Amino acid sequence: MEDYNKIIESLGVKFIKARNIRILQPITIKNFYDVENTLLILYNGEVSIGEDRVKVEVGDMLFIPGGKHVTVTYGDPTSSKTVSNEEFMTHRESYWEGNHDPKLIGHLPNSFGYVSFEAKVFDSVNFFNSLDVPPFIIKREDHLANTIDQILAEDMTDLAGKGRIVKIKTEEIVIEVVRYILKNRLFVEQLVTNSTYFKDPRLIDIFAYIKENLGGDLSNKVLANVANVSEDYVGQYFKMLTGINPQDYIEYQRMEAAVGLLRTSKKSIRAIGAEVGYKDTAYFCRRFKMMFGIPAGKMRRRESLMNV
């Protein structure tokens, strides 16, 4: 347990957004994907996960780690329309309606709430994704449910200190999710295997270097110098500890940074691609579409036109 305490202490948690949604029509999203973690609570109606449509019961929560492709159904699965992630992102207002009145949280028909957040070890590594934690349902955890409600309500206000309270409550839900996993002994093998590399200082140095130099040279030769191992060995070393090769990890980090810039800046797609390490804009756009299922321009359009 001491090891997990150290990992939790090293976690950098960042609130992204919280929304209360009413489902306008049943929809199944194939290969839904986002870079942030999402914790959803079902207030009324139906939500299910996966190809076999495992139901989330009213009052229960669904946790979807960032970086995981998953099929999600909102509403009655027998009458749902199946769409791609791109179709959903482009026309989300046709399927969802946002509530902005805190008094209505939990009282609307066919509704759910969700909180999106980052959780990174040493401010570099996506915690739940790196542990290979799959989407899962959290059963009847009243304290966690109440905390989500508080974040939703607080985020709808303009009261002094709103940001600070939301930040504290978001950190609390991350800890509660970790506690739920440990208490119920979920994903034991993944946790034992994948948490070990958080203790390797050379690997942590590589993570930190990649984060600080996304737009620069991140070849295996450079990473080998950072970790003080041979160029021939660094790829094997990285994959042995993390389960992926370093260049795949680097691309994920670059694309995640690109999503952040698309959501928060007015920089051109060309400039964003160059900033995260892609000199060829066309190649950047192809890789972005392959990873997220939608073009970079539509990701920006979604963020600018829809606030649900």
- Domain residue spans in the chain? 1-190, 200-301
Pick the residue with more confidence: 2 or 201? 201
Distance CA 261, CA 271 (A): 10
Cβ atoms of 91 and 81 within 8 Å: the answer is no
Pick the residue with more confidence: 294 or 270? 270
pTM of the model: 0.83
How sure is the predictor about 1, in pLDDT bands with cuts at 50, 70 and 90? Answer: low
How sure is the predictor about 193, in pLDDT bands with cuts at 50, 70 and 90? Answer: low
pLDDT higher than threshold 80 for residue 161: yes
Where is average pLDDT lowest: 68-72, 138-142, 229-233, 303-307?
Answer: 303-307
pLDDT higher than threshold 80 for residue 199: no
Residue 122 C-alpha from the chain's centroid: 17
pLDDT higher than threshold 80 for residue 308: no
What's residue 132's pLDDT? 82
pLDDT higher than threshold 80 for residue 195: no
CATH code for residues 200-301: 1.10.10.60
Burial (CB < 10 A; 0-12, 13-18, 19+), residue 49, is buried
Widest CA span of the chain, in angstroms?
A: 60
pLDDT higher than threshold 60 for residue 8: yes
Q: How many residues does the chain have?
A: 308
Mean pLDDT of 31-55: 94
What's residue 34's pLDDT? 86
What's residue 197's pLDDT? 64
What's residue 189's pLDDT? 74
Torsion of CA 139, 144, 147, 153, to 10 degrees: -10
What's residue 202's pLDDT? 87
Helices vs strands, H then E, count in the chain? 13, 12
DSSP string, 141-168: -HHHHHHHHHHHHHHT---TTHHHHHHH
pLDDT higher than threshold 60 for residue 220: yes
- 70-107: pLDDT as tens digits: 999 999 999 999 999 888 988 888 999 999 999 999 99
Mean pLDDT of 109-129: 89
Report the SS3 class of residue 218: coil
Distance CA 116, CA 36 (A): 6
CATH code for residues 1-190: 2.60.120.280
What's residue 301's pLDDT? 66
What's residue 307's pLDDT? 47
Report the SS3 class of residue 100: coil
Q: From the CA atom positions of the chain, what is the Rg in Å?
A: 20
**Would you tell me the crossing angle of helices 201-212 and 220-227 to the nearest 10 degrees?**
130
Cβ atoms of 115 and 152 within 8 Å: the answer is yes
Nearest alpha-carbon partner for 250 in 290, 223, 210, 203: 210
